[in-house]
Structure 1
Amino acid sequence: MGQLPTILDVAAAAGVSRQTVSNVLNSPSLVRPGTREKVEAAIAGLGYRPHASARRLRTQKSSTIGIRLDPLSAEGISGSILDRFLHSLTEQADRKNLRVMVFTATDSRDEIRQFKRLSEGADVDAFVLTSTFHGDPRTQWLIEHGQPFVTFGRPWGTDDITNPQHLWVDVDGRHGIREATVHLLGTGARRIAYIGWPSPSGTGDDRRRGWQQAMVESSGLRPEEITALHAPTEDGATFGAQAMLHLEKTAGDIEAVVCSSDALALGAFMHSAGRIPIIGYDNTPVASSIGFSSIEQPIDDVAGGILDLLTGAHGGRVQPDQEVPEPTHRLLQPRLILRNPRVQAITAPSSQQRQVRPGAARLSR
């Protein structure tokens, strides 16, 4: 293997000094646009990558992003979306010469203690948060202590969704669930049930509104009939099956079901044995292997958007009186993945089966 290119090689290729190359890498605003373009072209042509350790010594920054590794869920269904997100974030961060440090915490208060430890030790430069919820104390602590951060999940409850100090990227679950319900209505179904998380739940309430909006607009059912088709429950396949049983007893004929997660959709599908259309959310491997339809979040775009906010003009933090030159959040749209279910001989989960801790695998609540 040949020797890796050095900063001197870049300087020679661009016809500039070593200091000019260093300025392009660390303080690009000091370099004239034409010169900067020549240096950047030489960097790309040679495949040069700055030595991370040396750069950290110069800038007093770790070039590291901290993110909590959520506990494993019992069923491991909805948790797969977090795995995809973490993988994509790490992969894209590497292309920006950034590292991702994962850490564990038992709850939000413990996570704040980890924020304090990691920031005081200069181990990380910024944080990425998942599983945002009503009155989230983590974002308040980070804002008060001037720590750069971006959340996967918009503010809920006490936070202001347009607060420029809270940078966020989220997926429009309301739009996704509405599109799924509209699709089912377009097939002629009218009695379309919704199985979702109990309120208050930021993400859950938002997704439920998408179903409710489509049903009010196009189902032709009376308000009380629509209400009867809603079954709130905790997350997990067992709960999804139980919700289907409850709907059959209380709401009568069900023609299709939309769910707030693939875990709930799996339970609904198992209980109905594939007799009616079921649409889940997250398009996990379970949905593709069994074959029920689901709503897919653009995880790569979420990770890319978070890194853009962390490394762009905001640098992960907007001061209270600072002029905001760029959007401080991104709301992305999911897409509906339609499948014909492969009906198999399946059994509803036992009531003794271990359940998912409510909300443990959700990206935001």
Structure 2
Amino acid sequence: MKPPTIYDVAKHAGVSHQTVTRYLNGFKGIRPQTRQRVEEALAALDYRPNSAARLLRSQRTNRIGVLADRIDQSGPARILTGAGELAHRRGYVLDVVVADGTSAGSVAASLATIIEHQVAGILATAQSDVVLEELRRQATAAPLVIGADPGTESDQPTVNELAGRYAADHLLDLGHRRIGYLAGPEVWIAARGRTEGFTRRVLERGGRIVWVRQGDWSAASGHAVWGELGADERAVTAVGVANDSMAIGLISAAADSGVRVPDDLSVVGTDDLPEARFVLPALSTVAMDFEGEGRFLIEELIAKIEGTDLPEDVRLPTPPHLIARASSSRPVTGT
């Protein structure tokens, strides 16, 4: 089958082929409704820009190097999914190089590998301070965008602090006051933000953090943490968890010990994994727009590569939001 052309896209979207060309070239003056129709037509027809010809004319490569860390985890993998989708639509290809985010040497070596391939730009998904610090030490000729949530000096909370707050607010609004928290690995920037947001919110609103434990993001670690708790610690009426996988493991271990969720214990996770609504009980969680984050980061990087401003109608990631399901309810005793 003959691949679709910009004329096919224009016909499908009900616009001129010049409008499609302007969109593909990153022109920011296209009306939002028109831009949406073009994007939907590109996706429906699976249009692939002839980036080779365009970039040959501009003598520029279409390859974007990605320094990735812990792509075995849901969040980083979904960021790359969103980044890859947007890059594809804009005629770019991602070259992904995986680094160990706990090793400065690994980060430096992975970055050197990317630079050797003369990429148009570099996207780094920084999950740890090690990655951030090493990237700041390295000089790169290619444009660089770093995807991280390290916090700011302003009063505005980070995305992950917001996620922690929303999880805490949900449990507090239900009436819980004795609460535990299962955090992610402290080396992760996101884990620290979620823990800070959750614990501070509980204390601000008069609740009590009975315990904080740390897992490794896996369901197995969530299961193990519940088994390590003493009787007094298990007497909490609710637990906030830094991701859904650990929450699922904790719920399983609680059931094994005779604790029923949500009758005896309410649990709220974070991330909204695809399977979160299918486990029993369906998991309450804070949804995170990782795919939207990936798309936005690529928009930022392509603007740097092409020397343009971000489109005025660029889509920002959807803010975190609470999804209440069956794993959380009001405490039976009201304590």
Letter in 1 for 2:296: G
- Distance in 1 separating the partners of 2:225 and 2:277: 22
User: Is 1:295 aligned to residue 295 of structure 2?
Assistant: no
Contact preservation (8 Å) 1:237, 1:265: yes
How big is the shift at 1:198? 5.0
Which residue matches 1:338?
Answer: 324
Contact preservation (8 Å) 1:292, 1:341: yes
- Distance in 2 separating the partners of 1:15 and 1:205: 48
Which residue matches 1:363?
Answer: none
- Distance in 2 separating the partners of 1:130 and 1:58: 31
Which residue matches 1:92?
Answer: 86
How big is the shift at 1:302? 0.7
Letter in 1 for 2:163: G
How big is the shift at 1:191? 0.8
Which residue matches 2:109?
Answer: 113
Contact preservation (8 Å) 1:132, 1:151: no
Q: What secondary structure does 1:229 align onto?
A: strand
Q: How does 1:166-245 map to 2 (within 5 A)?
A: 172-199=159-186, 201-221=188-208, 226=209, 228-245=210-227
1:150/1:332 CA distance change after superposition, 3 Å: farther
Which residue matches 2:142?
Answer: 147
Which residue matches 2:95?
Answer: 101
Which residue matches 1:51?
Answer: 50
Q: How does 1:317-356 map to 2 (within 5 A)?
A: 333-341=319-327
1:182/1:55 CA distance change after superposition, 3 Å: same
Which of these residues, 267, 270, 274, is aligned with residue 281 of structure 1?
270
Q: Percent of aligned pairs with the same residue?
A: 22
Deviation sequence 1:72-118 (CA, Å, 0-9, x none):
75xxxxx2333332222211222212222223445553343333233
Runs of 4 or more consecutive aligned structure 1 residues displaced over 6 Å after TM superposition: 13-16, 21-29, 46-49
User: Is 1:259 aligned to residue 245 of structure 2?
Assistant: no
- Distance in 1 separating the partners of 2:63 and 2:232: 53
Deviation sequence 1:215-241 (CA, Å, 0-9, x none):
1122354xxxx3x32223433223222
Letter in 2 for 1:130: T
- Distance in 1 separating the partners of 2:302 and 2:199: 38
Contact preservation (8 Å) 1:150, 1:309: yes
Letter in 2 for 1:102: V
- Distance in 2 separating the partners of 1:178 and 1:25: 39
Which of these residues, 302, 316, 331, is aligned with residue 311 of structure 1?
302
Q: What secondary structure does 2:164 align onto?
A: helix
1:183/1:81 CA distance change after superposition, 3 Å: same
Contact preservation (8 Å) 1:262, 1:286: no
- Distance in 1 separating the partners of 2:203 and 2:133: 36
Deviation sequence 1:159-205 (CA, Å, 0-9, x none):
x779xxxxxxx971111221111111111211111110354542222
- Distance in 2 separating the partners of 1:28 and 1:203: 34
Gapped runs of 5+ residues in structure 1?
74-78, 163-169, 319-323, 343-365
Which residue matches 2:258?
Answer: none
- Distance in 2 separating the partners of 1:237 and 1:27: 42
Letter in 2 for 1:86: L
1:95/1:28 CA distance change after superposition, 3 Å: closer
1:284/1:206 CA distance change after superposition, 3 Å: same
1:203/1:237 CA distance change after superposition, 3 Å: same
Q: How does 1:21-32 map to 2 (within 5 A)?
A: none
- Distance in 2 separating the partners of 1:249 and 1:15: 69
> How many corresponding residue pairs?
294
Which residue matches 2:332?
Answer: none
Which residue matches 1:61?
Answer: 60
Q: Give the RMSD, CA atoms, in angstroms.
A: 4.2
Q: What secondary structure does 2:171 align onto?
A: helix
1:252/1:55 CA distance change after superposition, 3 Å: closer
106-115 vs 234-243, which deviates more?
106-115
How big is the shift at 1:279? 0.9
How big is the shift at 1:338? 1.6
1:229/1:118 CA distance change after superposition, 3 Å: closer
TM-score for the superposition, normalised by structure 2? 0.71
How big is the shift at 1:293? 1.2
How big is the shift at 1:28? 7.4
Which residue matches 1:354?
Answer: none
TM-score for the superposition, normalised by structure 1? 0.65
Which residue matches 1:362?
Answer: none
